[in-house]
Homo-oligomer: A and B are copies of this chain.
Amino acid sequence: MLADRYFASDAAQRQIARELYETVKDMPLICPHGHVDPRLFADPNFQFSTPVELLIIPDHYIFRMMYSQGIALESLGISRKDGSAVEQDHRKIWQTICDHWYLMRGTPSYIWLRDELRDVFGIDAKMNSANAQAIYSAIEAKLRQPDFRPRRLFERFRIEVLATTDAATDRLEQHQAIRDSGWPGRIIPTFRPDAVVNLDTENWINHIRQLSEVSGISVVNYRSFIQALEQRRDFFRSMGATASDHAAQSAYTTDLSEAEAEAIFQRALADRAAPEDAARFTGHMLIEMARMSSEDGLVMQLHIGSYRNHNPLIFERFGRDMGADIPTSSEFTRNLKPLLDRFGNQPNLTLILFNLDETNYGRELAPLAGHYPILRLGPPWWFFDSLVGMRHYLDSVVETAGLYNTAGFNDDTRAFPSIPARHDVWRRASADWLAGLLSRGVIDEEDAYDMIADMAYHLAKSTYKLSPDAMSR
């Protein structure tokens, strides 16, 4: 059962899935997009603190579910902005989580944490009220061992490359420290300029001031803003970055004249932005970023579709990333056209699209990616990074876009020790999906073995320009 988890119940398909999976399960992990803190690797002696600090407090998948069933975030140790007291007893928090762990049944978090406890921490037990304290103690004991320091785990996990996500204003000091340390683990930054590009960012003006500082270019107008961004991209590239990342509420793009862009930028500097300014400027900057990518070669990622901070009470009390971001429907055919009109046929450009509206996989995204040379489709994201989500994605995308216009897998996580479990789910889901195609005669064995290796490893590596190596054929 354990060996065949996530494979089809049908014996014939399961047998094929197992054989396909066997060929990739030990391949190195390519992690081209995620949110792990580079600090973990800068200090060779970094040690994770408590199980709750490691597994619960940073995981909005888990605490949002608890909150949805009436458990106060304060009781789970989530910090309040006003500094008022929250639960500090991590054993008590862990007990609360275990008491309500049944709420997670059937969710990806449930299987990730189960697989992680078993395969990383050697704890093969189901979390419940009775064993909560024993499990806590067992994890705690492991975390004190040298083998559970991040660098050691990185090596044990066979991670070939791990990309972090970093603000345009980040000096990448942690990345520099990793390099200086001589440790050979490949940790690379990703250029994410949202805070300076999206005019409605809280304290935008402070981010612009920081941008001036770190770039050495005084950002006083649109032109110097562009120059400062180009300077930062060069710096990120010098530190190993191969990609940029951009988040927007929609895929809206628009090609402003320099005069219009300048006018909006000046209004923003003067804190007198008009209602539509932020959306139009972001839409324009996406095209401008595509222009830069076509010149400097950074792979461009675009994540759209989330209505951030939907619950004002939670936002006021706890801040952002508290599990209160809600997807919206999305549109690409019209929204992305201005960008594609200018750069869709560009040879030296890759744009990877991520989206939170599954209906768009088959309707707009696969047809777009199956035509435009610059486009690749990112793996199922966020709520859809799941067994059903992966099946829906593959079923919806591959018939039209082919496999080779997808970007492989990325784990997109800040939970470092969960990385192997997440890749394993993808590899198993991919093997099972291919086993379905093979058992129904859609593809043959040769195809299936090539495709599983591409899905598990090569597609991510080549899409993100992480090496010159080719697909498996």
Contacts and interface: CB of A to CB of B under 8 A. Distances in A.
Interface of A: 1-2, 4-13, 64-65, 67-70, 102-108, 110-111, 126, 307, 310-314, 323-329, 331, 333-334, 337, 340-341, 344-345, 347, 356-359, 362-364, 366-373, 375, 383-384, 386-389, 395-396, 398-405, 435-437, 439-444, 446-447, 450-451, 471, 473
A441 B428 CA distance: 12
B359 A5 contact: no
Contacts of A389: 399
Contacts of A13: 9
Report the 3 A-B pairs with minimum CB-CB distance, sorted nearest first.
A5-B441, A9-B439, A9-B13
24 contacts: A8-B9, A8-B440, A9-B10, A9-B12, A9-B435, A9-B440, A67-B373, A68-B370, A68-B401, A68-B405, A102-B447, A103-B402, A104-B402, A106-B398, A106-B442, A110-B443, A311-B372, A313-B345, A328-B331, A328-B364, A329-B359, A357-B363, A359-B359, A388-B395
Given A69-B373, A106-B402, A387-B440, 12 more contacts: A5-B440, A9-B10, A70-B347, A102-B450, A105-B447, A106-B447, A107-B400, A312-B341, A328-B334, A366-B383, A386-B399, A389-B399
A298 to B, nearest CB: 18
Contacts of A329: 331, 359, 363-364
Q: How many copies does the complex hold?
A: 3
A340 B311 contact: yes
Contacts of A347: 70
A78 to B, nearest CB: 14
Given A311-B340, A387-B399, A370 B65 contact: yes
A391 B450 CA distance: 26
Nearest to A358: B362
A370 B372 CA distance: 36
Contact of A362 (B65, B67, B384): B384
Contacts of A4: 441
Nearest to A383: B400
Contacts of A69: 373, 404-405
Given A6-B441, A67-B371, A372-B311, A327 B333 contact: yes
Given A64-B371, A312-B341, A399-B387, A327 B364 contact: yes
Nearest to A396: B388
A369 B403 contact: no
Contacts of A11: 12
A396 B401 CA distance: 23
B327 A105 contact: no
A6 B437 CA distance: 8
Contact of A363 (B111, B311, B356, B368): B356
B395 A383 contact: no
Contact of A451 (B64, B105, B368, B471): B105
A331 B324 CA distance: 17
B307 A334 contact: yes
Nearest to A330: B363
Contacts of A64: 370-371
A49 B243 CA distance: 47
B440 A371 contact: no
A311 B371 contact: yes
Contact of A6 (B310, B440, B473): B440
Contacts of A65: 370, 402
Nearest to A347: B70
B398 A70 contact: no
A333 B383 CA distance: 15
B388 A68 contact: no
Contacts of A471: 102
Contacts of A399: 106-108, 383, 386-389
